[in-house]
Amino acid sequence: MQAQEPDDSAIAALVAETTRQAEATVPSPAAVESLPLFNRELSWLEFNRRVLAEADDANVPLLERVKFLSICANNLDEFFMIRVGALRDVVAAIAETPTADLEQLDAIRHKSRRLLDHIYRCLSEGLVPPLRKENIRIERVADLGKRERGLIEEYFTRNVEPILTPLAVDPSHPFPFIANLALNLGILLESPRGEVHFVILKIPESLPRFITVGEKWRYVLVEDVISSHIGRFFPGMRLRRSAPFRVIRNSDISIKEDDVQDLLKSMESELRRRERQEIVWLEIESTADESLVQLLTKSTASRANEVFLAPGPLKLGDVKQLYDEIDVPALKDKPFNPRIPAQLATSEDIFSIIRRGDFLLHRPYESFTTVIELVQTAAEDPDVVAIKQTLYRTDVGSPIVEALATAASLGKQVTAVVELQARFDEKKNISWAKQLEQAGVQVVYGLFGMKTHCKACLVIRREGRELRRYVHLSTGNYNALTARIYNDIDFFTCDPDFGADTAQLMNLLTGFSTAGVQELIDAQPLEMKWHDFVVAPMDYHRWTLDMIARETSNAKEGKPARIVAKMNALVDATVIAALYRASRAGVKIQLIVRGICCLVPGLQGFSESIEVISIVDRFLEHSRIFRFENGGKPEFYISSGDWMPRNFYRRVETTWPVRSEPLVRRLEDRILPVSLADNAKSWVLRSDGKYERRKTDGPAVRSQETFIAIARAEAVTLGPYEEIVRKPGSFRRKAKKKKKDR
């Protein structure tokens, strides 16, 4: 029986009712306080410390360590912009601020300072000395020889000086607006009469942060170059002191329901407002004297506990430039090109392969090009009549976006559900969404108040007298760049029930996307049936609790009971409470949680049978996989969403079962066991909230390297990844030839 496709008001009513029911299950503050839980923000800082540990590890190739330092620094910037910014908003909105909120902010700032100190110590003591041994040097302009200073002066004159604009600060010139994350110089000058003048100079983002000096891999910082030539702008003045500084602004976006007439215009307006939000963190290089620090602190309206004096260069995320520019294979991980599974190395078209049976891709070990080929083939196949796809984050010049535009130009019915609220990708998404509209694609701009986070593509193809639905679902984005560095699962099927569920999901996303929150709240509930999908915000939270409760009941009855769950974050208090109950009943629970984990493992009376590990390695662990023992008949599910309140209540997510025997065996015998066995790049969460490297007496198991070895052994090598991405179907012909040659 086909699933019914409800109308707009019915869908709106369903979401309103299920969201209301789900949120009603959230424990009261008193109930949450009684649960042993780690603080979410402090847990995230612990995760970033694990990222930094890769930069500290001498066993990691040197330039990979530089990359991890960059990732850690960028992560911390985002943490201040979003999490600290949101917490400050909460504190500011409450007239009598609870002591707990203030204490949390103080704890976050304290721990962030310690992490920043660790980052700079890692740079100066852990990275700079071995980089020098490899003749990779970051010099000061003052220490250069005469010839090198001449080269720098020439570079400054030609490439830097023309685009600089010093801004005086005096009674006639108020303190200028300081852009979020931008690098600036604060300059104190003294006139011949002894008067002190204050000048701000923004360093253009178009300039490289590291400027080469003569020899290969010898660099100076752009702010040092500018500071060394600042006298050109102020003849007759004496430079007393200059120091780099930058601000981090609250970048959390909040669109009010009453303001929304057009989500696209509202988002564009909110992005402009975000650029001018309040400052939550001020960083000044420690070379600044006290008077300059006080002047910058006062001028930016920063509090003393929000100022950090950095013992080195600011904005350390920019060290990624060194990783990108220096091509020394010995200083990086061994290169790996994603493989095409041998089962796909055939001359058959992608639709014929899917009809043979469901299959999985395990990214980045297996190539994203199969996903691209599905959309590109669908765009050009005369039998395909419609394509419907969600787009959360994608890459510049995306072959997926190009294929959708091509399909529309060929007269196919093409619908793209574009999430405008994908954090920090908003501007990019707005840009290419407009391009899709101009190409004739029906673009739906997500749902107000709820992010469309599920990843789904539905292709409708005429075959004989029938229409067949082909479905792709994923834990990761339709992004060819991140597909090479994120660990994700792709699922392909033409199962009629999956097709019906995906069609219903797309109708849900497009059918009430313009409805406001109040309309949803006032609407009447309607029951919606799904064949296989578990969909947030309607069912995901309830389903998760039901599955845990089933294992709990089985354990009490003496049946086999076990839960294995791999995800990015575990935060929801009711789910954690259910896991505690399951543990007390005797359920063995193994959790692979990359980032935030608020559950306390190994705690007497709560979680003795719960183990939590985190894997941090060259690829970002991003997939969500759940295994429930089910009394000896294990069930497997894959999901786009973590176990967090936002994924349960404020995002559209999909969770789906894996029933095909070959795929079940792959998850059961390979993917989950290898991840659980990792003892080289995994960390164990202790009951005190600290993580420690996993220890073992047996042989070392590095899960990601194991998956690479498996992919190499079982798949076909096709050559440069970038070439394959752009040529739909070409890899299939190459694969067939290589397989024949073997």
Residue 180, CB half-sphere, CA atoms under 13 Å: how many?
22
CB atoms within 10 A of CB 472: 23
**Residue 303 burial (10 A CB sphere; 0-12, 13-18, 19+):** exposed
CA-wise closest residue to 687 among 568, 588, 539, 580 = 580
The token pair that represents 545 in the structure block: 């609790």
Q: In degrees rounded to 5, what are phi and psi of residue 436?
A: -65, -40
Please report which helix (H) or strand (E) contains residue 196, including its range: strand 196-202
Which parts of the chain sit beneath pLDDT 70? 1-33, 90-99, 252-276, 421-429, 446-448, 512-528, 715-742
248, 77 Cβ separation under 8 angstroms: yes
pLDDT at 527: 53
CB atoms within 10 A of CB 352: 10
Q: How far apart are CA 105 and CA 275, in angstroms?
A: 23
690-699 own/partner pairs: CB under 8 Å, 24+ apart: 690/46, 691/46, 691/49, 691/50, 691/614, 694/613
Please report which helix (H) or strand (E) contains residue 395, including its range: none
CA-wise closest residue to 564 among 541, 543, 582 = 582
Q: How far apart are CA 162 and CA 230, in angstroms?
A: 13
Q: How far apart are CA 20 and CA 29, in angstroms?
A: 18
Q: How far apart are CA 16 and CA 52, in angstroms?
A: 42
Q: Which residues of 363-396 are buried (b: 16+ CB within 10 A; e: fewer)?
A: bbbbbbbbbbbbbbbbbebeebebbbbbbbbbbe
Q: How far apart are CA 381 and CA 402, in angstroms?
A: 15
Q: How far apart are CA 221 and CA 25, in angstroms?
A: 53
Residue ranges of alpha helices (H) inside 558-702 are 573-585, 645-649, 661-666, 672-677
The token pair that represents 118 in the structure block: 């660790």
- Bridge partners of 651? 451
Quick check: helix, strand or coil at residue 52? Answer: helix
SS3 of 529-548: the string is CCCCCEEECCCHHHHHHHHH
The token pair that represents 341 in the structure block: 């599974």
Q: Give the number of residues written for the chain.
A: 742
DSSP string, 279-345: EEEEEEETTS-HHHHHHHHHHTT--GGGEEEESS-S-GGGGHHHHHH---GGGSPPP-PPBEEGGG-
Report the catalytic residues. Answer: 453
144-150 own/partner pairs: CB under 8 Å, 24+ apart: 144/213, 144/220, 147/214, 148/213, 148/214
User: What is the dihedral sign for C-alpha 364, 365, 369, 372?
Assistant: negative
Q: How far apart are CA 415 and CA 411, in angstroms?
A: 12
The token pair that represents 654 in the structure block: 């999909």
- The four Cα atoms 649, 654, 659, 662 give a dihedral, to 10 degrees, of -130
Q: Which amino acid is at 247?
A: V
pLDDT at 144: 93
Q: Is the previous residue joined to 364 through a cis bond, with omega within 30 degrees of 0? A: yes
Region at 27 (left for phi over 0; alpha for psi -120 to 50; beta for the rest): beta
Residue ranges of alpha helices (H) inside 123-213 are 128-133, 146-155
Which class is domain 340-495?
A: alpha beta
- Bridge partners of 340? 716
CA-wise closest residue to 655 among 634, 635, 641 = 641
Domain coordinates in residue numbering, the chain: 143-257+281-319, 340-495, 534-716
The token pair that represents 522 in the structure block: 């006032």
Quick check: helix, strand or coil at residue 650? Answer: coil
Q: How far apart are CA 483 and CA 369, in angstroms?
A: 9
DSSP string, 356-375: H--EEEEETTB-THHHHHHH
Helix 99-121 vs helix 40-56: crossing angle, to nearest 10: 0
Q: How far apart are CA 284 and CA 178, in angstroms?
A: 13
CB atoms within 10 A of CB 702: 19
20, 541 Cβ separation under 8 angstroms: no
Q: How far apart are CA 186 and CA 299, in angstroms?
A: 11
Residue 16, CB half-sphere, CA atoms under 13 Å: how many?
19
The reply to whether domains 143-257+281-319 and 534-716 share a CATH topology is no
Q: How far apart are CA 117 and CA 246, in angstroms?
A: 17
At the topology level of CATH, where does 534-716 sit?
Endonuclease; Chain A (3.30.870)
Which class is domain 143-257+281-319?
A: alpha beta
Q: Which residues of 221-243 are buried (b: 16+ CB within 10 A; e: fewer)?
A: bbbbbbbbbbeebbeebeeeebb
Please write the tens of the pLDDT for every residue from 148-200: 999 999 999 999 999 999 999 988 889 999 999 999 999 999 999 988 999 99
Region at 621 (left for phi over 0; alpha for psi -120 to 50; beta for the rest): beta
Residue 100, CB half-sphere, CA atoms under 13 Å: how many?
3
124, 312 Cβ separation under 8 angstroms: yes
From residue 480, alpha-carbon distances to 337, 400, 543, 715 in Å are 13, 9, 32, 19
